Amino acid sequence: MSTAAGDAIATLSRRLAATSWFQRSVVLGGLLTIVWMNLSLHGLDQRLLRDGLLFFAIPMAFALAHDRTLGWQVDRRAVRDALLLSAFVTPFYVVGSTLPGVREFYPMWGLESAAPAAFVPHAIKQFLLVVAGETFFRGLFCVGLREKGPWVAFISPVIYALLHANKPPIELLLSGPTDVLFGLSDYHANSLLPSICAHGLGLILLDWLVLHDPLIDPETAAGWFEWLPIVL
């Protein structure tokens, strides 16, 4: 190795060593987001592999290398906050399941039956996707940076919304506020349990409801949101 190359590597190593955990987390998160957006895959199994690697395995390895947990811990506060957040978001999933655009979009990845043989494996895989996503968005970007204060819950909403760009308009509209709500809940609990439960179980409930007759008249539910400038 030439002296110039050795000096360059030494300089880069010193600069990396001088960066903070916060700076490294944000850079890693940005890079993983770019890779995720440019790695187009089809099907739930392929999505599970991609998200499992980019949103779970790499952030967890990064955290372990820095002696961090990213919110992978459970205590009484985490359980309580998980129950409260899940109870708060459940009505949104119930009402959302009656809206025409949501019923056309969900369930994703070809699920057409609520029969246990089809529904249960799909639900498990989708829940694992949520675990990966929450580890990335709420773990790497929020709970993992909690020493910076609660404002860290506002780091990822734009990225989170971008990744929901192909979803129904009402979901895209709510994705930013939802990201902040989940982030603040996990920040308060110092755990990913609240967002994993609320998001994961909520999506499973949404799929189940969409595969059955609406609990609320769709026209009535749509009327509640007619003031919004979006197609429901």
Q: What is the pLDDT of residue 165?
A: 76
Q: What is the pLDDT of residue 170?
A: 85
- Report DSSP state, residue 156: S
Question: For 40-93, how does the pLDDT look when each residue is reduced to its tens digit (9 = 90+)?
Answer: 777 899 999 999 999 999 999 999 999 998 999 999 999 999 999 999 999 999
* Dihedral pair phi/psi, residue 41, rounded to 5°: -130, 160
13 in any annotated domain: no
CA distance 26 to 150: 16
139 in any annotated domain: yes
Whether the pTM exceeds 0.75: the reply is yes
Residue 153, Cβ density class (10 Å: 0-12 exposed, 13-18 middle, ≥19 buried): buried
More confident residue, 149 or 161: 149
Q: What is the pLDDT of residue 14?
A: 64
Local confidence band at 8 (pLDDT 50, 70, 90 cut-offs):
low
25 in any annotated domain: no
Cβ 109 vs Cβ 122: under 8 Å: yes
Parent domain of 152: 45-223
CA atoms within 13 A on the CB side of 17: 6
22 in any annotated domain: no
Local confidence band at 12 (pLDDT 50, 70, 90 cut-offs):
low
C-alpha distances (whole Å) from 71 to each of 58, 65, 150, 182, 232 are 15, 15, 14, 13, 35
98 in any annotated domain: yes
159 token code pair: 């990225």
Q: What is the pLDDT of residue 3?
A: 67
CA distance 123 to 158: 27
3 in any annotated domain: no
Number of structural domains found in the chain? 1
Local confidence band at 160 (pLDDT 50, 70, 90 cut-offs):
confident
Whether 177 has a pLDDT exceeding 60, the answer reads: yes
Question: For 118-127, how does the pLDDT look when each residue is reduced to its tens digit (9 = 90+)?
Answer: 999 999 999 9
15 in any annotated domain: no
Question: For 135-152, how does the pLDDT look when each residue is reduced to its tens digit (9 = 90+)?
Answer: 999 999 999 999 899 999
Percentage of the chain surpassing pLDDT 70? 91
